[in-house]
């Protein structure tokens, strides 16, 4: 089925203060979402990576092991790309129309339902990821005990970030609650948000990277790159919209006061 803890990866709610408008949060990123919490540059998440500087020789070598037209690989790419598209389209539609909230009788129940659907889609993604690895050749240079332990360590670190993010945000905070009008009163600054931006996204990416290394799988490494790129695009797409939601909320609160 794949790494159980790699089911994280929906848009993470930004817990902002409603007093005085949206405030910056999260290290390692420019713009309205930066945090006042100081952190080393290395902890800004994979969003700080310049993919243009990637070693093309390494990518070429990996591609030599992979058949991108193999059905399981294609299915994995499609599920990786589809999931963020699904939750962003549905969440924005809900924010604009409130039709899900009306259909389910409350925004909380609608959010729980969408969250359940996202979890199932992420389980499917992990399954397709694993099947794609099993259907492609292994890389001999990664097929050793040391590499396996490195992969296991990455899987553990990713799991910590995913689970701690969920505990810090709660279910509605994790699964797009702000699009349903379920907004937080204050910023979340506890671990892992105190050291890493978008920890659920990058924790999930670390899970897939560790899983790929444990399987000595070039296909898994390429798919992990796709995961990282898709999450980077999702962050760029989601953050301005989330900032606007909290800006409007703060403006309304200011007018009432």
DSSP state of 2: -
Residue 12 among known ligand-binding residues: no
Residue 94 among known ligand-binding residues: no
Residue 64 among known ligand-binding residues: no
Residues 6+ apart with CB under 8 A from 198: 12, 26, 45, 47, 231, 235
Residue 77 among known ligand-binding residues: no
Residue corresponding to tokens 């990416």: 205
Give start and end residues of each alpha helix (H) in the chain: 56-63, 71-97, 99-104, 107-134, 145-174, 199-214, 218-256
Residue 158 among known ligand-binding residues: yes
Three-state secondary structure string covering 140-184: HHHCCHHHHHHHHHHHHHHHHHHHHHHHHHHHHHHCCHHHHCCCC
CA distances from 200 to 5, 13, 139, 161, 169 (A): 10, 11, 28, 6, 10
- Per the annotation, binding residues are 156-158, 238-239
- Per the annotation, binding residues for S-adenosyl-L-methionine are 156-158, 238-239
């Amino acid at each position: 089925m794949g790494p159980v803890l790699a089911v994280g990866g929906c848009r993470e709610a930004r817990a902002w203060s409603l007093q005085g408008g949206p405030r910056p949060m999260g290290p390692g990123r420019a713009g309205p979402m930066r945090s006042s919490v100081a952190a080393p540059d290395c902890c800004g998440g994979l969003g700080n990576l310049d993919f243009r500087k990637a070693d093309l020789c390494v990518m070429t070598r990996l591609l030599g092991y992979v058949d991108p037209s193999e059905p399981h690989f294609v299915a994995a790419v499609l599920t990786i790309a589809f999931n963020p598209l699904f939750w962003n389209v549905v969440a924005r539609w809900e924010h604009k129309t409130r039709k899900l909230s009306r259909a389910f009788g409350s925004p909380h129940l609608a959010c729980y339902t969408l969250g359940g659907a996202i979890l199932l889609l992420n389980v499917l993604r992990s399954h397709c990821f694993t099947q794609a690895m099993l259907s492609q050749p292994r890389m001999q240079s990664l097929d050793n005990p040391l590499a396996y332990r490195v992969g296991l360590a990455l899987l553990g670190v990713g799991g910590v970030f995913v689970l701690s993010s969920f505990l810090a945000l709660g279910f509605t905070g994790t699964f797009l609650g702000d699009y349903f009008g379920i907004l937080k009163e204050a910023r979340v600054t506890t671990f892992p948000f105190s050291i890493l931006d978008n920890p659920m996204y990058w924790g999930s990416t670390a899970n897939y990277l560790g899983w790929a290394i444990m399987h000595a799988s070039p296909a898994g490494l390429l798919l992990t790159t796709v995961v990282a790129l898709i999450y980077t695009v999702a962050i760029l797409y989601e953050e301005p919209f989330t900032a606007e939601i909290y800006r409007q909320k703060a403006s309304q609160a200011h007018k009432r006061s």
